[in-house]
Every structure is written in C-alpha cells, then in structure tokens.
C-alpha cells in the first residue's frame, strides 16, 4: 500500500502539476483548457492530470462529450495537518529566540547563561 502523503508530495513535486492545481482552485476546467498555457502535447498534459488524479488531488467528471477536472482538497488538508506539527515546532523555537533576544537587549543576566 502506498502512503497517501508520499503520493501527494510526489504529485506536487512537478511545477506543471502545481500550476494545474492552481488553475483548478479557480474552478473546474477541461483537459484542453488546462493544456492551453503549456508548450506540450495534450497527451503529456493528460499524463500530469493522471498523476494528480491517482494522488486524489483532482476528480474528473463527464458532462455530455466533455470531461472536466475539479480540485479535490482532501490530500492538501492532509499535508497541511502534517506540516502543522512542524509549524508549531518552528513557532515555539522562534518564540524562544525572540525572548532570548529581548532579554539580551535589556541586559538581562539570564540571557547570558
């Protein structure tokens, strides 16, 4: 079984796929609309879309003869949760550094220990 965070990070590793997600954050789009800004074949863009779909980041819907892609935020929320733990760690470390520097500016002897 593949770890979903690894699948998501792998899919996000490519700038084209991140740009496709940014476009889909504005609303659904057809594969042709997603491919328009890129100097690559429709097949190449379709491969990028398939990677995003396999990671659960997008879903495809069929409407008559058109297939639309839309953003699925669940995997991004999972990443936010994972990164959140590290965000707290950095916030705590920066708060301690801020306190230390404030103590140094005041000439507090405890900062020198």
* pLDDT single digits (tens) 80-111: 888 888 887 887 777 777 888 888 888 865 54
C-alpha distances in Å from residue 11, one per residue of 7, 76, 113? 6, 11, 47
Alpha-carbon gap, residue 35 to 45, rounded angstroms: 6
Whole-model pTM: value is 0.74
Using DSSP, state whether 49 is helix, strand or coil: helix
pLDDT in tens, 33-68: 999 999 999 999 999 999 999 999 999 988 778 889
Using DSSP, state whether 62 is helix, strand or coil: strand
pLDDT in tens, 13-35: 999 999 999 999 999 999 999 99
Alpha-carbon gap, residue 73 to 25, rounded angstroms: 9
β 29-30/58-63 pair status: unpaired
Q: For residue 62, what are its two tokens?
A: 């069929």
């Amino acid at each position: 079984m593949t770890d979903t965070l690894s699948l998501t990070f792998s899919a996000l590793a490519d700038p084209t796929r991140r740009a496709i997600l940014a476009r889909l954050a504005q609303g659904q789009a057809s594969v042709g609309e997603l491919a328009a800004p890129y100097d690559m074949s429709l097949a190449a863009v379709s491969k990028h879309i398939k990677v995003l779909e396999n990671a659960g980041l997008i879903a495809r819907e069929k409407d008559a003869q058109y297939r639309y892609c839309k953003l699925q935020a669940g995997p991004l929320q999972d990443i936010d949760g994972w990164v959140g733990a590290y965000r707290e760690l950095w916030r705590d470390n920066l708060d301690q550094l801020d306190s230390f520097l404030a103590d140094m500016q005041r000439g507090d002897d405890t900062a020198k220990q």
